[in-house]
Amino acid sequence: MKMDFWENFTKTISQATDHTVKSTEKLATVAKLKYRISTFRSKLDEYFRTLGEMKYSEMSGDEVGEDEYGMIFDEIVLLEKKISVLEKRIASLNDFIECPQCGYKVRRGIAVCPYCEYVIDEKAAETAKKAAEEAAKAAEETVEDVADAVEDIVDEVADAAGSGDGEK
Ligand SMILES: [Zn+2]
């Protein structure tokens, strides 16, 4: 019975920890990707502004070469491609993958399949297992601490009762 409890406890913690570790990693990755997208977007704004300025000076009577437009145009196309690649990367982080063992759809980045417990990501599973073992150990130590504290109190009460009797 006691073993079952710790086994279930460990399993629950392991799944919870796994989820937390992976979603933290994901958040950091998404944040980095979003930052890069925002820098690309401000570059894009610059190119569009340059394009507008070129058109304005052309309309004001200045000569603007075709290749100058072409250069800016190419840069804009390239930046838009880069942005779309990064946006797809962010979307794929929220994707689901199929468990290689049972075929259930599980969230990408999950270490252990929640349905059949197949280890999808060994490294992440190992990290989660260690965290779970530490949590279980800490909990076991707490139980021992409480037991010790109770024993101390019982001893103190017994001593107090004993000395009280002695004084009388
Ligand atoms: Zn599975």
Q: What is the CA(128)–ligand 1 centre distance, in A?
A: 17
Determine the pLDDT at residue 168: 43
Determine the pLDDT at residue 17: 58
Cα–Cα distance for residue pair 98/106, rounded to 1 Å: 6
The 8 Å CB, 24+ separation contacts for 31-35 are 33/86, 33/89, 33/90, 34/90
Regarding pTM above 0.75, the answer is: no
| 104 residue type, one letter | Y
In 1-123, DSSP assigns E strands to 96-98, 105-107
Answer for the pair 120, 110: CB distance below 8 angstroms, yes or no.
Answer: yes
Q: What is the CA(73)–ligand 1 centre distance, in A?
A: 48
Q: What is the CA(34)–ligand 1 centre distance, in A?
A: 31
Q: What is the CA(99)–ligand 1 centre distance, in A?
A: 5
Q: What is the CA(74)–ligand 1 centre distance, in A?
A: 46
Determine the pLDDT at residue 126: 79
Per-residue pLDDT of the chain (168 residues; tens, 9 = 90+): 555 666 766 666 666 655 555 667 777 888 888 999 999 999 999 999 999 999 999 999 998 888 989 999 999 999 999 898 888 888 777 677 778 888 887 877 778 888 888 888 777 777 777 877 887 777 777 767 777 777 777 777 778 777 544 444
